[in-house]
Amino acid sequence: MKRAVRVGAGEGLVITANRLLDGAIVWLSADHTWQTAIQRAEVLVSDAVSERLEGVQSRAQADGVVGIYEIAVRPEVGGPVPLTMRERIRAFGPTVHPQFAYEQQEGAGA
Amino acid sequence: MTLFNLGAREAGHYAEPVTLADLVEQGEARSVVLESGDEVAALKPYLNRLELVVLRFPIFRDGRGFTQARELREYLHFGGEIRVEGHVLPDQADFLKRCGVDSVVLPEGSDVRPWERQLKRYSVSFQRSVLPEKVLDVGTRVAR
Amino acid sequence: MTTAIGQYQYDQVDRDFLAARIEEFSEQVARRLDGALTEDEFKPLRLMNGLYLQLHAYMLRVAVPYGTLNAAQVRAFADVARRYDRGYGHFTTRQNIQFNWIRLEDTPDILRLLADVDMHALQTSGNCIRNVTSDEFAGAAADELVDPRVHAEILRQWSTLHPEFTFLPRKFKIAISGSPNDRVAARFHDIGVIARPGDDGRVVFQIFVGGGLGRTPIVGQELYDSVPEERLLATLEAIIRVYNAHGRRDNIYKARIKILVQALGVAAYRNEVEAELAQMDIARYRLSPEMVASIEARFAAPDLQAPEGAAAVLAEQRAQNMVFDRWVRSNTHAHRSEGHIIAVVSLKPPGEIPGDVTADQLDRLAGLSERFAYGELRTTHLQNVVFGHVRQDQLYDLWRGLVDVGLGAPNVGLIGDIVACPGLDYCALANARSIPIAQKLGARFADMTLQEQIGALQINISGCINACGHHHAGHIGLLGVDKRGEEFFQMTLGGRADDQATVGKILGPALPEDDTVDAIARIVDRYLQERSGQESFLETLKRVGEAPFKEAAYDTV
């Protein structure tokens, strides 16, 4: 079993994966669909995560996603901002190619 | 379960294979099952009565069975049936065959078409195997 | 089609094989999409075709066998970069090229495009025998004893879909060189092979085993001093058979052959190999002179004709142009044929991403190779590109062409010639970003006069312990680590990958990115103070020890 992600005060969790067909990074939204923008991700409290993970894991093949896991975020006005550099790079794009940055809403920068 | 033949030899019917440890006790057994960590050389004293050696793959990524099969054929000159059971993929059919495996145990109802396709896929290989394959040109490649 | 210079010329049998391999991969993709293959089953299968799932997309690593390319192949890379990626590619530390923004569904089409120019992505990943690497100056260097590319091709073919060795405990890397000056890091490979002429006129091979970087960096040990050519394949089969049977499979970090060699000791490993050889049907593995000749016949050699006075033309042009002269000093190497020279193109312009090339640059490199280098290019494990055979009287025009496309950096072998893995910006395994610190270091030492004054100094940067940036082998090595969500860099000094291969020693506690750049600047200053005469950094380090450098690195007052 993978270690549970630790969440501090005022922080939450979002669920992420990669799309099987093109490898694109996707985020689980409140309507249980996979979205390419982290701004559409639903921020969950710790208790809700394991049940939600189980549900999406069982649908992974049908939904065409792989490598599902949860990450810690800080909810901000522009949308959730991941706490780790790795996940900020996944959410917003490589830091060394600004032209490849993912579209963000105002104020949602890393 | 389904028995799939990789080559010309038809899978035979044998008594339940014994483990390597049991083979030492029951010298009369004619079929044995090896785990991937077992040494093939331990079969030497029993070769003249063994008819079937089953190689168990715990997972398809554990490639020790390929070496076991090859050692059986190349070092021990084992002429009986080599069978593989456990977790193997059709993508490995040709590798198994070229290491000397005759048959594969598949779960009941398995689709054997990917296995058949894989065996027909290549018309050339780039190294010699334990099979009597025809050498192309001067011998860096073999025809299949 | 004319026979390719410096690489094996495919025939219809080879092309049919590649087509069948692509068909196999297409079917595997289809079975993955319909659920017949789980992700856990599909992953090793796609990796054997060079396809990774990285942070943002799939990454396709295309094989450049023994680092040799022709112009059409380089144009195909440009085509892939434009049509299926984002307009660029990245040369790796194993002479391959990778594309970072690939879609799984496009991959069969990309593989067909590559197959049209006899290229593939076979065994550039996975727990199999990987693409064989070789000397980037093969067939050209003045110091070469044997051209290693024929045997490299033999090893490429022999290892292709090897029935027994496709599901090894872990990846398996082989490098082969034919020069006593090791440019392939033979002692940092699972198997390193050094070819030289034997007494009977046939080639013999010195074989090192159990070297590697990664979590447990180890310098390979000599297993055999001189294996006859006829026994080369038998010996390699025996070495790998012992490893396949006995290498650890319970712990991915202890699964490489180096761990087994360490556990047994090299003498006991040799005994195991001998025991295999004693039982093997040696005739079946015999590499006959006829087989070698048949492969050799598929390689064309360039007709090296330089006009008389080519060297004088070059000398004159150097005298007239200081910038060109500086580039010639750092970026060329002696050729064995009179009037010729080897040119190294630095893919490390100051402040840019090491190893990255745009599609336009690839096209231009292809064109320059046709004009000046018999349509042949090589890639290096230091992420640069080489034109192997350039006429000395044409070097100036080649250089002008390179400068035109932003590839004229005169820093090969100098501190700006930084090796770096893709790091956390792209790689799913990384703990820290490698590229930004490489860019900062490149910018810090951008002054070419300063670089030349500093002299030979190799910086290698890895974003995680897997060490794709070969940090242990760098004169200065940097390993990115994650400290509570922050990127830190652990520094090693004194590593080298040549015939005196050494694992770098950790200098002290890891530092944050900017502090690391400053610390390296102080280390370099200290070296310039301590240096005696024209000593290289490594020579000074050897003479004075690491203490002054440690003091300089952590002197933050």
Q: CATH code for C310-404?
A: 3.90.480.20
CATH architecture of the domain with range C419-553: 2-Layer Sandwich (3.30)
Domain spans, chain C: 12-115, 133-296, 310-404, 419-553
pLDDT at A6: 78
Q: Range of B119's domain?
A: 2-143
pLDDT band at C36 (very low <50, low <70, confident <90, very high): very high
Buried b / exposed e over C531-556, threshold 16 CB at 10 Å, is: beeebebbebbeebebebbbebbeee
A57 touching chain C per CB within 8 A: no
CA A54 from chain centre, in angstroms, equals 16
Residues of chain C contacting A, Cβ within 8 Å: 32-33, 35, 39, 53-58, 86, 101-105, 353, 424-426, 430, 432-433, 435-436, 439, 482, 485-487
d(CA C445, CA C448): 8
Smallest Cα distance from B36 to chain C, Å: 9
Query: Which chains are within 8 Å of A by 3+ CB pairs?
Result: C
For residue B117, the chain C residue with the least C-alpha distance is: C24
Instruction: Give me C288's structure tokens.
Output: 């006959």
pLDDT in tens, B74-88: 999 999 999 999 999
pLDDT at C241: 98
d(CA C481, CA C515): 14
* Residues on chain C touching A96 (C-beta within 8 angstroms): 353, 425, 433, 435-436, 439
d(CA C328, CA C338): 17
Buried b / exposed e over C174-192, threshold 16 CB at 10 Å, is: bbbbbbeebbbbbbbbbbb
Q: CATH code for C12-115?
A: 3.90.480.20
Predicted-assembly ipTM surpassing the 0.95 threshold:
yes
Q: How confident is the model over C188-204, as a mean pLDDT?
A: 95
For residue A65, the chain C residue with the least C-alpha distance is: C39
Does this chain's domain C133-296 share its CATH topology with C419-553? yes
pLDDT band at C445 (very low <50, low <70, confident <90, very high): very high
Task: Return the percentage of chain A with pLDDT > 70, whole number.
Answer: 89
Q: What are phi and psi of C491, to 5 degrees?
A: -100, 140
Count structural domains, chain B: 1
Contact call for C485 and A93, based on CB within 8 A:
no
B89 touching chain C per CB within 8 A: yes
pLDDT in tens, C538-554: 999 999 999 999 999 99
pLDDT at A107: 42
Instruction: Give me C523's structure tokens.
Output: 């280390």
Smallest Cα distance from C103 to chain A, Å: 4
d(CA C460, CA C472): 8
pLDDT in tens, C361-381: 999 999 999 999 999 999 999
pLDDT band at A106 (very low <50, low <70, confident <90, very high): very low
* Residues on chain C touching A22 (C-beta within 8 angstroms): 57-58, 103-105
Return the CATH class of domain C133-296: alpha beta
Contact call for A89 and C425, based on CB within 8 A:
yes
Which among C29, C31, C39 is the top mutation candidate for probing chain A, defined by the most A β-carbons within 10 Å of its own β-carbon? Answer: C39
Instruction: Give me B11's structure tokens.
Output: 């899978």
Among B63, B67, B74, beta carbon nearest to C281: B74
Domain spans, chain A: 12-95
d(CA B127, CA B142): 7
Contact A39, A105 (CB under 8 A): yes
Instruction: Return the SS3 of C212.
Output: strand
Contact C327, C408 (CB under 8 A): yes
Contact call for C13 and B70, based on CB within 8 A:
no
